[in-house]
Amino acid sequence: MKATILFSLILFSLASCKKEKKTVPVLAPAVSASVKTDTIPDKAVFKLKLAKDSTNTDETMFVFSHRYRLGSFNGEDAVYFAGNGQVSLASVSKDGEDLSINGLPYTPCMSIGLDIHAKTSGSYLLKISYEKEIPADIEIWIKDTYLRDSVNVHTGNYSFNIDKADTNSFGGKRFRLILKDAD
């Protein structure tokens, strides 16, 4: 008898929890005039160059598309293969892969890791070497976590030093590229 009453109570409580499905009209989200959408167009490109001098250089390329995904994916990215040159520069995907071509969807204030190596200590330069269809109101910042410095390389170059005795002065943790809409 107690089992029947308990079973009836459980059945009643489950039945009372079932809610009727209501159709709610879907409204389009309100878009503010200050909200920017599609800030960087599909197929927009820029290249970042690392240079020791005029002959010892390496580049990494960034290609934008709203269809691309973060991380490394065939058809969107190209894996970086270090050569025998004096310098090497790769962008780092969200899943930690070094890339020579990084296909990305743009999001404001996005941060992209850079992996920088050199065979010798000395002075080096980071600069934009090519850009196509990057809007003028997009800022491209190099953030140097080692020196706690940053510069908008869309408007100027960034000079820095690598000390081969100090592993914090090069590698995949020193630099980040920050892309954002101008204030």
Q: Examine residue 131 and state whether it is found in any structural domain, yes or no.
A: yes
Residue where the block lists tokens 């000079």: 159
pLDDT number for residue 31: 40
| 25 CB neighbour count, 10 Å cutoff | 4
- Between 1-15, 42-56, 61-75, 137-151, the lowest mean confidence (pLDDT) is in 1-15
The tens digit of pLDDT for each residue in 141-169 reads: 999 999 999 999 989 999 999 999 999 99
Query: Residue 59: inside a domain, yes or no?
Result: yes
Smallest CA-to-CA distance from 56 within 119, 142, 131, 143 is with: 119
The DSSP output letter for 122 is E
Is 61 among the domain residues?
A: yes
Task: Give the E-state strand segments of the chain in sequence order.
Answer: 45-51, 57-64, 78-79, 87-92, 98-104, 110-118, 122-132, 138-144, 149-152, 158-162, 171-181
Please check whether residue 17 lies inside any domain of the structure.
no
- Residue whose entry in the numeric block shows the structure tokens 């190596």: 117
Tell me: the pLDDT tens digits for 105-130?
Answer: 888 899 999 999 999 999 999 999 99
| 43-79 burial code (b ≥16 CB/10 A, e <16) | ebebbbbbbbeeebbbbbbbbbbeebebebeeebbbe
What's the domain count of the chain? 1
pLDDT band at 79 (very low <50, low <70, confident <90, very high): confident
Q: Which of 182, 179, 181 shows the shortest CA–CA distance to 62?
A: 179
Whether residue 103 lies inside any domain: the answer is yes
The domain containing residue 63 runs over which residues?
Answer: 45-181
Tell me the pLDDT band of 73, cut-offs 50, 70 and 90.
low
- Residue 163 lies inside a defined structural domain of this protein: yes
DSSP symbol at 38: S
pTM listed for this prediction: 0.76
User: Is 13 inside any structural domain?
Assistant: no
Please indicate, yes or no, if residue 77 is contained in any of the structural domains. yes
Indicate whether 6 pLDDT > 60: no
Half-sphere exposure of 148 (CA within 13 A, CB side): 0
List, in order, residues 6 or more apart from 85 with CB less than 8 Å away: 56, 58
- The mean pLDDT value of the chain amounts to 82
pLDDT at 7 over 60: no
Q: Is it the case that residue 23 has pLDDT exceeding 80? A: no
Encoding tokens for residue 57? 């250089």
Pairwise CA distance, residues 173 & 116, whole Å? 9
Q: Please state, in angstroms and rounded to a whole number, the distance separating the CA atoms of residues 57 and 39.
A: 30
Residue 21 has pLDDT above 70, yes or no: no
